[in-house]
């Protein structure tokens, strides 16, 4: 792998029908100046809304970063030297702003040299933040005091961050519970260069194990050894002064969660046997409650290996699951059990039942509520008010229940019963706040709950805050954004002060934070981030509406080339970029959820760069695939795909902007799958760009994307949808790009190499680019610049200057 650091292997080049070695390239100046810009910081805010913490980072990793040693084990990607995810994104600087006194930004002092910061976690009193710093030889824990703006290190670089959930605060805000590398850790074995000790044997006893095509799985005993030794930890209680005491001895600690009152800790550990066909989160596990002093109280659930599940997206395992603390109680555990055996094909009135169990956690659990669909999540309020959500994939139905958790005899009220794909009727998310124990609970004020909604509608997007009356079950509006030329996102509603924290942006104004006072009607600006993409700030951008041939409403965000004269209406080349989505009803499929007022943010996967090169761009073009009633969307996938594309092209052509003989189509992942199908089954495009896709659905035989049926249940669907099966129909130039280390389920790099080989064998015009060490999304600056160069070269030759 080392010899690939500066070299790409590219097959079937633009000018040579052979394999060549090519150094990383950079795109033209117009594109480069949009890529190589500093990022505005990310922002996190404490629960008291007193401090804003600005987190700075570099936009990209380097290919050197991605070329470090990496172990891919049981769904994890681990740097075995530092003991943290090898794909982790880091921040390199911190600054603080006091919201209450509107102070200037304060640079945090005491930070390490060349910081690589992650895993941020506020203390219960909200005055401190613990975080990790990754050095070249390990991970450390640091703590930032928000009052003094001083950061200091409290551990040596011996933290084990391979399974996440690294730092947990004790309720006193003076100590943290940290996963540390045990002294007994054994050496890692180089399994690629080790002498085999025997064959690898897998056995099945007749049970059905219909699993997705997971990647990075364990393959042999050496992998098992390495996985165990990389995830095993000791738990240490560490003070803010750096004093450490071993809290629990070595185990494969996964999830760690303190009870709201801080008296107990729920700890989940990974157990054996491991599996070669499912990732680590389906390995056996045990969940045990301990006191805050590390004394074992009770085993709550012992979960076996989960290799076999009933068929379907709504299948779950039997036994206790969704184990969590109840936020409004000091130390009550909540869990869910399936009433249908976890099998969605069984006909039952209720699918799931929610239970509560209290200290000492060994008694008979108390039933709280049964749900018609599969349990999704719960928000707790107080002894008499709680909200539970369920959902059912097959019908896209979701229900919201309001119930009294202290009265089993009271009937839960279904207050919302809707299609969760119907964005126009989405009531929003219930507003929560921290209670005296520091846990999120429902805001309940004068007999009302509150909802924060995105506000999509036929007329546009107008985010809102609604008040829900608990007596009448009626909604009334507290606030609704009325911007038609901007987008106002509501982050938080402070009902006590009648204020909302908002983020406001427009197509050419970078998002900034404000406090909106609903009483005084004032708007106070908190941040002042400038637009770093000046060269495209004047690009013309609008949402266009159009209809498919069957009458289905569609839409897309249209960008005109920089400097385009709309009076002349010169016909320009166009790039159409999209991603197909499945729906169970036409009404939901027809809804507009793109907002032209959203800031125009070019990123590596965006086609927006090419407005600087004279292209019209239709981005976020809606590509719904609808299957109503007993019909499945994929039964007519190809026909609907082509109909969506034709409607989009006709709409832009009707406006007079596009040369219909010079149109490219592009997409990533399932969008790449879309591209290959469109080029195989239509003559609408002059070229295509397909990134990190899958092209042979028989290689994902137990379902893919939104398809629940297996290959053996719907062989014709799998065959018809697979571009590989129709490679002989490809007459349009196709650029195929794939990350060499793709970890996404189903999109093995082999999908692209085999498809390219088929196209090459059949004489199609195609180019395959494999990006070394890149995963499903691309991170190295060298890779991204080269990606943009490849796309630009392809578009210039096969679209703009098409012969």
Q: Report the catalytic residues.
A: 669, 742, 776
Helix (H, G, I), strand (E, B) or coil at 355: strand
Q: Which helix (H) or strand (E) holds 589?
A: helix 586-589
Q: Please choose, from the candidates 249, 254, 197, the residue with its C-alpha nearest in 3D space to the C-alpha of residue 230.
A: 254
Helix (H), strand (E) at residue 494: strand 487-494
What pairing do the DSSP bridges indicate for beta strands 332-338 and 352-358? antiparallel
Q: Rounded to 5, what percent of the chain is helix, strand, coil?
A: 15, 35, 45
On whether the CB atoms of residues 53 and 129 are closer than 8 A, the answer is yes
430 in Cβ contact with 449 (< 8 Å): yes
Count the neighbouring beta carbons within 10 Å of the beta carbon of residue 779.
21
- Distance (Å, whole) CA 562 – CA 549: 31
How close are the terminal C-alpha atoms of the chain, in Å? Answer: 39
Ordered alpha helix ranges (H), 660-700 = 670-681
Task: Tokens 């920089």: give the residue.
Answer: 562
For residue 334, give the nearest of 405, 409, 262 by alpha carbon.
405
d(CA 625, CA 64): 41
CA-to-CA dists, residue 654 to 344, 552, 624, 651, 660, angstroms: 47, 18, 22, 5, 11
* Cα–Cα distance, 707 to 670 (Å, whole number): 12
Q: What is the dihedral of CA 615, 616, 618, 619, to 10 degrees?
A: 50
**3-state SS, residue 23:** strand
What is the spatial distance between Cα 231 and Cα 492, in angstroms, rounded to a whole number? 37
Token pair for 63: 């290919």
Q: 163 vs 231, 235, 256, 329, CA distance in Å?
A: 6, 13, 11, 28
The span from the CA of 510 to the CA of 504, in Å, is 8
Q: How far is CA 755 from the centre of its chain?
A: 28
**In this structure, how many other beta carbons lie within 10 angstroms of the beta carbon of residue 185?**
17
Q: How far apart are CA 238 and CA 133, in angstroms?
A: 16
The alpha carbon of 258 is separated from its chain's Cα centroid by a whole number of angstroms, namely: 25
Q: Where would I find the beta strands (DSSP E) of 304-437?
A: 321-325, 332-338, 352-358, 366-371, 374-380, 386-392, 397-403, 413-419, 429-430, 432-434
What is the DSSP secondary structure assignment for residue 169, as one 8-state letter?
A: E
What separation in angstroms does the CA of 5 have from each of 29, 60, 87, 92, 137?
24, 16, 16, 24, 21
* Nearest-angstrom CA–CA distance, 376 and 323: 12
For residue 494, CA distances in Å to 103, 480, 596 come to: 21, 15, 29
Q: Give me 11's structure tokens.
A: 């097959």
Residue 679: Cβ within 10 Å count? 25
239 CB burial (10 A radius; 0-12, 13-18, 19+): middle
Nearest to 631 by CA among 583, 669, 591: 583
């Amino acid at each position: 792998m080392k010899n690939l650091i500066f070299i790409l292997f590219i097959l079937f080049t633009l000018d040579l029908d052979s394999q060549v070695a090519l150094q990383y390239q950079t795109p033209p100046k117009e594109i480069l100046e949009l890529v190589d810009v500093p990022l505005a910081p990310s922002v996190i805010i404490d629960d008291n809304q007193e401090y804003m913490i600005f987190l700075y980072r570099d936009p990209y990793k380097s290919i050197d970063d991605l070329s470090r040693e990496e172990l891919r084990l049981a769904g994890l990607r681990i740097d075995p030297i530092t003991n943290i995810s090898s794909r982790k994104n880091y921040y390199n600087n911190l600054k603080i702003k006091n919201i209450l006194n509107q102070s200037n930004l304060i640079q945090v002092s005491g930070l390490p040299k060349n910081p690589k910061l992650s895993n941020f976690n506020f203390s219960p009193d909200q005055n401190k933040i613990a975080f990790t710093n990754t050095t070249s030889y390990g991970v450390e824990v640091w703590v930032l005091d928000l009052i003094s703006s001083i950061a200091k290190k409290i551990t040596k670089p011996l933290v084990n961050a391979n399974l996440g959930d690294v730092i947990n605060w004790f309720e006193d805000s003076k100590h943290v519970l940290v996963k540390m590398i045990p002294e007994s850790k054994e050496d890692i074995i180089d399994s690629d260069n080790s002498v085999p000790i025997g064959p690898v044997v897998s056995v099945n006893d007749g049970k059905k194990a219909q699993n997705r095509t997971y990647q990075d799985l364990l393959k042999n005993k050496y992998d098992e050894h390495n996985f165990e030794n990389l995830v095993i930890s000791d738990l240490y209680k560490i003070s803010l002064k750096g004093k450490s005491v071993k809290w629990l001895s070595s185990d494969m600690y996964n999830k760690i969660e303190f009870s709201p009152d801080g008296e107990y800790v729920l700890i989940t550990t990974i157990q054996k046997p491991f599996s070669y066909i499912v990732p680590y989160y389906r390995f056996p596990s045990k969940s045990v409650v301990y006191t805050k002093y590390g004394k074992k109280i009770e085993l709550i659930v012992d979960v076996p290996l989960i290799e076999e599940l009933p068929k379907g997206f709504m299948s779950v395992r039997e036994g206790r699951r969704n184990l969590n603390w109840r936020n409004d109680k000091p130390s009550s555990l909540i869990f869910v059990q399936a009433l249908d055996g976890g099998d969605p094909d069984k006909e039952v009135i209720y699918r799931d039942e929610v239970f509560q169990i209290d200290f000492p956690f060994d008694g008979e659990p108390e039933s709280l509520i049964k749900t018609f669909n599969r349990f999704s999540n719960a928000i707790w309020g107080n002894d008499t008010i709680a909200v539970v959500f369920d959902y059912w994939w097959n019908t896209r139905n979701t229900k919201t229940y309001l119930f009294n958790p202290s009265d089993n005899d009271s009937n839960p009220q279904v207050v919302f019963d809707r299609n969760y794909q119907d964005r126009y009727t989405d009531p929003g998310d219930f507003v929560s706040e921290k209670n005296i124990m520091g846990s999120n609970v429902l805001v309940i004020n004068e007999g009302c709950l509150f909802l924060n909604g995105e506000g999509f509608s036929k007329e546009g997007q107008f985010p809102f805050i609604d008040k829900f009356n608990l007596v009448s079950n009626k909604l009334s509006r507290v606030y609704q954004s009325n911007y038609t030329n901007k987008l106002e996102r509501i982050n938080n509603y402070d009902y006590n002060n009648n204020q909302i924290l908002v983020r406001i942006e427009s197509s050419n104004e970078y998002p900034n934070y404000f406090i909106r006072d609903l009483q005084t009607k004032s708007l106070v600006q908190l941040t002042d981030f400038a637009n770093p993409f000046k060269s495209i700030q004047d690009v013309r951008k609008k949402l266009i509406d159009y209809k498919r041939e069957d009458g289905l409403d569609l839409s897309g965000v249209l960008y005109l080339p920089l400097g385009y004269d709309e009076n002349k209406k010169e016909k320009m080349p166009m790039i159409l970029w999209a991603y197909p989505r499945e729906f169970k009803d036409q009404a939901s499929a027809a809804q507009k959820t793109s907002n032209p007022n959203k800031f125009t943010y070019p990123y590596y996967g965006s086609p927006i760069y090419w407005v600087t090169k004279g292209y019209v761009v239709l981005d976020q073009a809606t590509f719904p695939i609808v299957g109503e009633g007993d019909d499945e969307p994929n039964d007519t996938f190809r026909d609907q795909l082509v109909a969506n594309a034709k409607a989009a092209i006709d709409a832009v052509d009707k406006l007079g902007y596009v040369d219909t003989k010079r149109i490219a189509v592009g997409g990533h992942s399932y969008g790449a799958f879309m591209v290959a199908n469109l080029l195989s089954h239509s003559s609408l495009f002059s070229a295509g760009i397909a990134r990190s896709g899958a092209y042979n659905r028989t290689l994902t035989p137990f379902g893919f994307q939104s398809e629940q049926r297996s290959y053996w249940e719907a062989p014709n669907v799998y065959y018809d949808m697979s571009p590989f099966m129709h490679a002989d129909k490809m007459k349009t130039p196709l650029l195929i790009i794939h990350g060499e280390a793709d970890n996404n389920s189903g999109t093995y790099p082999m999908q692209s190499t085999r498809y390219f080989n088929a196209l090459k064998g059949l004489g199609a015009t195609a180019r395959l680019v494999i990006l070394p060490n890149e995963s499903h999304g691309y991170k190295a600056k060298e890779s991204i610049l080269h990606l943009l160069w490849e796309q630009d070269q392809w578009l210039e030759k096969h679209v703009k200057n098409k012969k």
